[in-house]
Structure 1
Amino acid sequence: MDIRSSFEALDNKLTSCGGLNGGGITRLLYSEAWSNAIHTLKNTLENEGFEARFDNVGNLKGRIEGTKYPEETIMSGSHIDTVVEGGHLDGQFGVLAALVAMQSLKAEYGQPLRSLELLALAEEEGSRFPYAFWGSKNFFNLANKADVSSIADGEGVNFEDAMHEAGFDYRTVDNDFSYIKSFVEVHIEQGKVLESEQKAIGIVNGIVGQKRYTVNLKGEANHAGTTPMGLRKDAVVAFSKIANELTDQARAFGDPLVITFGRVDPVPNTVNVVPGEVTFSIDCRHINQTELNQFAEKIDACIKRVSEEEAVEYDIDLWMDEAPTLMDEQLVSEVKKAAEHVVGPLDCKVMPSGAGHDSQIFAKYIPTAMIFVPSINGISHNVEEETDIEDLVKGIEVLKQVLYQLAYKE
């Protein structure tokens, strides 16, 4: 079978579920577009000879039974939901890459020795409701009814009502995942590293840890014209110094550490008043826990010192502290061999993922690896999100090679 034409046909078919007139997709958990997509995918799997079924919450599995070791399963897939006005590749590519790779393997080699399973996870993004990884957290029995029973979307629709309307419900029994021997997720990079280095394939060795803070600085609001510079307690000036110093320190610390000040809310936020208060966010990420912790000490020290210098009070809330997740070394080695076979050693790169993925949940329980393909201009979570079709095909071919080694070889 022709991988390119097969992928393009499936991508067009699935993109129509939630597809926007200006391009891209909005496909939020338990919405009509989401329901159309997940049932379209189930029908496609059944037509292709997969045994397809939903779990309680809407995760979809498509299975090709193994001939010799059916109880050993090699799994691949990703999430089926999108952000609002997102692209057609984030999540969807991983699902369709698994489908096309498994179709191609079956057409070329027949039934595998070990079972192959495609997994389309119900939700990863957290775009409709304030809860992320609903699909993978349910898969590993981590999600609880109490986590979501009282939450609603931006239009006031209750999580439970939306779930029931879509035909799904809470998990009633714990899932057994002991039969899964490996999980491989293919994803667009969502960054510029592969494109800037002219690499065709990224071999992900880990997903960065994240520390997220909300910081509040309180100074004194006062008249912009009558308050001398030396008598001011300007919260925004303090913030500016903190942002500038920590950015310089992060650059000196070196890649792959990153720090971002994504949200800044000054009070009173008007032209002729010295701002007396500011609340801002810090997002800091690194693949190495020790180095992430070391830089966290710099963050605390900088905030405290600058606040004292500028005569403002500070409050630091570290509300997310996620450890880095390392991929399985043996499986990463298998992906590396497959990538070098498909595109050559000079066209692939071992790298960390700077974004979160379902694989970070899987890796805690199952040997897991990820394959990246380049993103044009690094754009993602945007209708302009795109990857050259030849790079998408290479990603599918690498996945196919990995699945062949894992499911067809003794």
Structure 2
Amino acid sequence: MIQSEPQTIDELMDWISGISDAEGPGTTRLLYSQSWIKAQQALKEKFEELGMKTEFDAVGNLFATIEGTEQPEEIIATGSHVDTVAKGGRLDGQLGIMAGYMAVKELLETEGKPKKSLQIISMAEEEGSRFPYVFWGSKNIFGIADSKDVEEIADAKGVKFTDAMREAGFDFLQGEPRHNRIAAFLELHIEQGNFLENTGKKVGVVNAIVGQKRYTVTLKGQANHAGTTLMEYRKDTVECMARIVVQSIDKAKAEGNPLVLTFGRVEPKPNTVNVVPGETLFSMDCRHTDADALDRFTKEIEADMRAMAEGMGIEIEIDNWMNEKPVPMDAHIIDTIESVCKDNGLSYQVMHSGAGHDSQIFAPRVPTGMIFVPSIDGISHNPAEHTEAVDIQQGVQALAEALKRLAY
């Protein structure tokens, strides 16, 4: 049975979390910042201590590899992203990298060199915390990142993406991307929700990442005096939004799991106490593991919103600006992880991911699987983000045993 001591897990996470752009609480490690450079270099040294060959690609993804003894051309990879949100927790992203380190370290110590190559990938970026672009690391591994999308963008301080990248010592990808030898990819991550905690399970075997549709909806009515405009003469866009929200959420609850619907951003205008709001902008986020169900439900909601607005004499504009399809994980990898959990007596649950991850970029292109560990109170992207070391231990054990079956 392959295991990592809880004390070692906490020490490793404290070490990597301490590499931050800002004082705590929390870790701030934004793409191409000084702490990002320091973290990638520190990880490079730690991987090399295991005898792994390390190299960066053009944009700053770090690859650490142990060559296989029989089929070195086939790579069994694991890892996650090294960047964080501002004032983030100690686990998101970097736990997947350190779990890969712990798993590979113990496999080398107990099993020797693998037949297929083993690789840990510390991906440059996933969060979009510094620049308005996500999955820069994993997209470049597959050559699907468009340089035109980042050439003109800048961070909140006005620093251009291209300037930050080149100052950190990197540049745009030239030539072939790096995925050609990856035969399988596994990512360990905190759940970022409370399903595992509520069910008492310690390992999540992810079977799919949800599809997402995001909207910006604008309602236009008539701004008017809050005291002199009688109720029957109002074209109140906040009232219209409120009716839409209640009706839509009632429908979502009736639809049942795994569909989720969120109205998270509201901007009424003129947004003052004594004026009937003549315009209101709000967001809508809908997610489901089934593409057809997601499309059907959101089309119903769009029709309901239009009908509600029309009935109240209010104009409506619906902008569906994100439409990401659900991404299933590979059936063989799912079976491998589940079999590992059964054979080792691990407390596990097959489940879906309600959040996006680097694995959704990998999964359509190489056989991919994900392992979740519980998040206490479902908290993530927050200094309070925490998972007990004994729970992480079960996740690392599942990862190590799965890598063993795939590479040895």
Q: TM-score range with shorter-chain normalisation?
A: over 0.9
Contact 2:4 2:397 in 1 (8 A): no
Are residue 390 (structure 1) and residue 390 (structure 2) matched? yes
Residue 181 of structure 2 corresponds to: 179
Show the 5 A alignment for 1:55-134: 55-134=57-136
Are residue 24 (structure 1) and residue 26 (structure 2) matched? yes
* Residues in 2 aligned to 1:83 and 1:216: alpha-carbon distance in whole angstroms: 29
Letter in 1 for 2:348: C
Letter in 2 for 1:292: L
Letter in 2 for 1:392: I
Letter in 2 for 1:233: K
Letter in 1 for 2:401: Q
Letter in 2 for 1:305: A
Residue 350 of structure 1 corresponds to: 350
C-alpha displacement of 1:326:
0.3
Are residue 251 (structure 1) and residue 253 (structure 2) matched? yes
* Between 172-181 and 284-293, the greater mean CA deviation after superposition: 172-181
Show the 5 A alignment for 1:94-243: 94-243=96-245
Residue 367 of structure 1 corresponds to: 367
Normalising by structure 2, we get a TM-score of 0.98
CA RMSD of aligned residues (A): 1.1
Residue 377 of structure 1 corresponds to: 377
Residue-by-residue CA offset, 1:335-384 (whole Å, 9 max, x unaligned)? 1111223344xx21111100000000000100000000000000000011
Letter in 2 for 1:356: G
Counterpart secondary structure, 1:174? coil
Residue 339 of structure 2 corresponds to: 337
Residue-by-residue CA offset, 1:213-268 (whole Å, 9 max, x unaligned)? 00000000000001010000000000000001000000000011001111000000
Show the 5 A alignment for 1:263-342: 263-342=265-344
Out of 19, 43, 51, the position equivalent to 1:49 is 51
Normalising by structure 1, we get a TM-score of 0.97
C-alpha displacement of 1:21:
4.3
Residue-by-residue CA offset, 1:158-204 (whole Å, 9 max, x unaligned)? 00110111111110112142311110000000000000111111110
Identity percentage over the alignment? Answer: 50
Contact 1:200 1:343 in 2 (8 A): no
Contact 2:7 2:389 in 1 (8 A): no
Residue-by-residue CA offset, 1:2-55 (whole Å, 9 max, x unaligned)? 543433332222111107544320000000111111111001111221101100
Q: 1:311 to 1:343 in 2, by over 3 A?
A: farther
Letter in 1 for 2:13: D
Counterpart secondary structure, 1:119? strand
* Between 173-182 and 124-133, the greater mean CA deviation after superposition: 173-182
* Residues in 2 aligned to 1:131 and 1:80: alpha-carbon distance in whole angstroms: 15
Contact 1:11 1:96 in 2 (8 A): yes
* Residues in 2 aligned to 1:166 and 1:5: alpha-carbon distance in whole angstroms: 34
* Residues in 2 aligned to 1:86 and 1:78: alpha-carbon distance in whole angstroms: 15
Letter in 2 for 1:362: F
**Unmatched 5+ residue regions in structure 2?**
none
Counterpart secondary structure, 2:344? helix
Counterpart secondary structure, 1:298? helix
Letter in 2 for 1:298: E
Contact 1:6 1:100 in 2 (8 A): no
Contact 1:25 1:88 in 2 (8 A): yes
Contact 1:183 1:369 in 2 (8 A): yes
